[in-house]
């Protein structure tokens, strides 16, 4: 039954954060086997949505089964510091099996669990076989040609030969030095999570040696339930030095290491590394300190460097993973936002010519795969509406328009089969939580791996469907004429008089919140509580191209807030919206936005919930901050105007207790210092505010119990300010 006494079944916070997850068995990391006959993926366990198990489908038979239940491998040991940091950067908050790789023959998968590497055959009766010693903690596993496996252990790079022999490839790792690991800036801001790279022929491994010693050592005080600990951290504050990065190549035949000079005249960041298909040279992307120059550089094994392509901008250049070197070694696929929206090009290294393959009114979001023999490229992006994400087939010659392959509407994350005949599609839309399907290139369904239909009585969310409020998509027009998209979840009792509105905001670069995708179910809880939820992607948000982002260059928290106010103007037109009862809620950049909206316009915002906010950009890292604000010495006014403390008078006018600050006390990304400094400033100014700090919690404030407690606090705070009562 979906109703109780004629009313929708009550959706409690406890149930929202309980097992099984209400969004169902949401799939992750779906990958074809090398022969294309099978697909493996991760999905949350039925008895614990925070644990991921490994599943397998044989496409010929259509049979799916759980290949590895993570519980069967026993209790997990504590993660290493490197692995904890890596997962935090990857936003991986689950336990169990969180990543895997197919072996080259497709007969087994490799996966690390609790720091040990296992091999598991795909036969029904296979048992996992440990490949690394129990006292090793492996991180970042990669498979090379000939069955060789590399990994990082104890801050050094190791090799597991096909016969099981272990070789230590580097020995300089330790202390401030790591070999084969991507550093903090690379992972968190450049989204490069790899620190080493197998040559296609398997004879060499390129790796990065990172020394953080040039970054002054600061101390982070992590407070947990039992006390506190002091963590020395080389945190690269804006305007300060970065880590020293060296590029080495190991010859696997004899273990000798050669070092390549990669930086050139003004190369501050080694952003991307790839091997040429013939394994004769590396092709790297090096980026200037202010990220206004990006060079594509070829470096051969003898160290000879040649610049292949240069891109410049008067604001900044967004990095991507769309470089694909073609087999002839003289051409590559390359995407660029140099004319506004990101287009895919064919780049000729000899002539330097760029041939566009996609139209200038569409946005390429990801290069998925290339079929050179078939003359086709597969990309994800939008060529119609920015709230959609589809898979397209693009003509490698550039003579035909992109052809959409994914059906209907929604958001699609895909992988194309090795024979380019089918693709696996992680599909979702406003009323469909993520499901997993296999389709042929004509769009016909080949296999349904994870249906995840909420209208099925066994689905966890099915009992709550009758009270579900379907979100609505719409658009507004910014002051400069650009299109702003919003997603609105109306309250359950919208016809019973004016209702409060929660503005759920992120608002920062690199992120798109408003999509035709399954919204967070906390919005359903708020809607049943009688509060509407409004989301708007302001200018500066991601996936909309250069021109949509660049208005924030030089000052943060100005254009973004102006666009959110435009959203409030729109809400006035709704019959149910009470504009005297508006609250703003956000996490990370969204926490910063919640503060700035309240501080700049307390007459329009009654309350704000700010979670893990940046409060002063001088306290954030080099690569991210300087991309938008430049070097602090050259933009003193911009940094000052972007800081929350510049608007303390607005927080005073907001009234007693209008602000709730929340922060993890072990946050190594947006340091707790951001909140503690704002706390001090508020106290000095006599501003009353609420605070909830989480001992031991990192930036994501991950975990079921933390999430449940956090939203109980948020609900009680919002109820007090929007309804004058305690939360339920």
Residues with a catalytic annotation lie at 588, 667, 699
Cα(33)–Cα(39) distance, rounded to whole angstroms?
6
How many residues would you count in the chain? 728
Cα(666)–Cα(661) distance, rounded to whole angstroms?
15
Residues 6 or more apart in contact with residue 61 via CB below 8 angstroms: none
Q: Residue 300 has which token pair?
A: 């051969």
- Tell the residue number behind the tokens 């991921």, with chain if given: 52
Cα(149)–Cα(52) distance, rounded to whole angstroms?
23
* Cα 493 to Cα 3, 36, 229, 526, 606, distances in angstroms: 16, 50, 48, 11, 21
363-371 sheet: strands from edge to edge: 363-371, 376-382, 390-395, 403-404
442 phi, psi to nearest 5 deg:
-85, -5
Cα(509)–Cα(318) distance, rounded to whole angstroms?
10
Cα(649)–Cα(44) distance, rounded to whole angstroms?
47
H or E stretch covering 416: strand 411-416
379 phi, psi to nearest 5 deg:
-130, 155
DSSP 440-476: ETTS-EEEEEE---TTSTTSTTGGGGGG----EEEEE
Would the CA dihedral through 706, 707, 710, 715 be positive or negative? negative
Cα(372)–Cα(328) distance, rounded to whole angstroms?
10
Cβ atoms of 591 and 673 within 8 Å: the answer is no
Cα(186)–Cα(247) distance, rounded to whole angstroms?
14
DSSP 16-32: HTSSSPTT-S--EEEEE
411-416 sheet: strands from edge to edge: 411-416, 422-429, 432-440, 445-450
H or E stretch covering 526: helix 522-528
Q: Which residues pair with 371 in a beta bridge?
A: 376
Q: Residue 251 has which token pair?
A: 């010859």
- CA angle (277 as vertex; 144, 317 as ends), nearest 5: 100
Instruction: Give the Cβ contact number of residue 449 at 10 Å.
Output: 24
Q: Is the peptide bond before 20 cis (omega within 30 degrees of 0)?
A: yes
Q: Residue 552 has which token pair?
A: 């924030």
309: burial class by Cβ within 10 Å (0-12, 13-18, 19+)?
Answer: buried
The 3-state DSSP class for residue 32 equals strand
Cα(474)–Cα(82) distance, rounded to whole angstroms?
43
Q: What b-and-e string marks burial along 153-182, b requiring 16 or more CB atoms within 10 Å of the CB?
A: bbbbbbbbeeeeeeeebbeebeebbbbbbb
Chain mean position to CA 392: 22
Cα(500)–Cα(494) distance, rounded to whole angstroms?
10
* Cα 335 to Cα 299, 322, 324, 346, 364, distances in angstroms: 21, 6, 10, 9, 8
């Amino acid at each position: 039954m979906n109703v109780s006494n004629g009313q929708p079944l009550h959706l409690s916070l406890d149930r929202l954060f309980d097992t099984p997850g209400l969004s169902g068995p949401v799939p992750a990391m779906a990958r074809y086997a090398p022969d294309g006959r099978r697909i493996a993926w991760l999905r949350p366990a039925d008895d614990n949505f925070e644990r991921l198990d490994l599943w397998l489908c044989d496409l010929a038979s259509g049979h799916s089964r759980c290949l590895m239940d993570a519980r069967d491998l026993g209790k997990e040991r504590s993660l290493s510091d490197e692995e904890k940091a890596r997962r935090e950067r990857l936003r991986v908050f689950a336990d169990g099996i969180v990543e895997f790789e197919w072996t080259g023959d497709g007969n087994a998968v490799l996966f690390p669990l609790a720091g040990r590497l296992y091999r598991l055959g795909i036969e029904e009766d296979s048992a996992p076989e440990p490949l690394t010693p129990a006292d090793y903690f492996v991180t970042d596993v990669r498979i090379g040609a000939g069955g060789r496996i590399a990994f990082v252990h104890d801050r050094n790079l190791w090799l597991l030969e096909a016969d099981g022999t272990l070789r230590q490839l580097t020995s300089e790792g330790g202390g401030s030095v790591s070999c084969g690991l991507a550093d903090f800036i690379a992972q968190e801001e450049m989204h490069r999570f790899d620190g080493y790279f197998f040559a296609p022929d398997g004879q060499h491994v390129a790796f990065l040696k990172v020394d953080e010693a040039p970054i002054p050592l600061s101390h982070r005080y992590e407070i947990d339930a039992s006390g506190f600990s002091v963590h020395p951290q080389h945190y690269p504050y804006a305007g300060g030095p970065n880590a020293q990065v060296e590029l080495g190549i190991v010859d696997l035949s004899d273990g000798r290491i050669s070092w390549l000079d990669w930086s050139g005249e003004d190369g501050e960041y080694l952003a991307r590394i790839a091997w040429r298909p013939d394994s004769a040279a590396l092709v790297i992307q090096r980026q200037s300190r202010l990220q206004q120059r990006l060079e594509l550089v070829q470096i051969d094994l003898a160290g000879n460097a040649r610049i292949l392509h240069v891109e410049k901008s008067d604001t900044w250049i967004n990095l991507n993973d769309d470089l694909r070197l073609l087999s002839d070694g003289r051409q590559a696929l390359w995407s660029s936002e140099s004319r506004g929206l990101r287009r895919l090009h064919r780049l000729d290294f000899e002539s330097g010519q760029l041939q566009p393959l996609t139209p200038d009114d569409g946005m390429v979001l990801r290069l998925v795969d290339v079929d050179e023999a078939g003359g086709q490229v597969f990309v994800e992006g939008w060529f119609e509406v920015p709230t959609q994400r589809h898979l397209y087939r693009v003509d490698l010659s550039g003579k035909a328009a992109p052809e959409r392959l994914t059906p209907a509407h929604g958001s699609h994350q895909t992988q194309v089969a090795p024979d380019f005949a089918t693709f696996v599609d992680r599909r979702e839309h406003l009323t469909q939580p993520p499901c997993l399907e296999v389709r042929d290139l004509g769009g016909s369904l080949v296999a349904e791996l994870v249906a995840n239909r909420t209208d099925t009585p066994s689905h966890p969310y099915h009992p709550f469907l009758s009270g579900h409020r379907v979100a609505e998509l719409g658009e507004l027009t910014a002051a400069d004429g650009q299109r702003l998209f919003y997603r609105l979840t109306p309250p359950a009792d919208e016809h019973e008089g004016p209702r409060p509105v929660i503005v759920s905001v992120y608002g920062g670069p690199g992120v798109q919140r408003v999509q035709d995708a399954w919204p967070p179910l906390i919005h359903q809880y708020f809607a049943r509580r009688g509060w509407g939820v409004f989301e708007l992607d302001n200018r500066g948000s991601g996936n909309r191209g250069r021109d949509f982002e660049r208005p924030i260059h030089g000052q943060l928290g100005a254009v973004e807030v102006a666009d959110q106010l435009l959203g409030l103007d729109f809400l006035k037109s709704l019959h149910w919206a009470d504009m005297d009862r508006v609250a703003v809620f956000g996490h990370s950049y969204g926490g910063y936005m919640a503060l700035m909206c309240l501080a700049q316009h307390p007459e329009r915002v009654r309350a704000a919930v700010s979670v893990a906010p940046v409060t002063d950009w001088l306290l954030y890292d080099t690569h991210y901050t300087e991309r938008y604000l430049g070097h602090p010495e050259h933009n003193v006014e911009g940094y000052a105007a972007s800081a929350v403390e510049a608007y303390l008078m607005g927080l005073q006018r907001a009234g007693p207790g209008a602000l709730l600050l929340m922060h993890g006390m072990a946050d190594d990304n947006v340091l707790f210092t951001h909140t503690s400094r704002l706390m001090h400033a508020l106290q000095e100014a006599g501003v009353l505010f609420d605070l909830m700090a989480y001992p031991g919690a990192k930036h994501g404030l991950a975990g079921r119990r933390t999430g449940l407690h956090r939203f109980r606090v948020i609900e009680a705070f919002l109820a007090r300010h929007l309804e004058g009562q305690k939360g339920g």
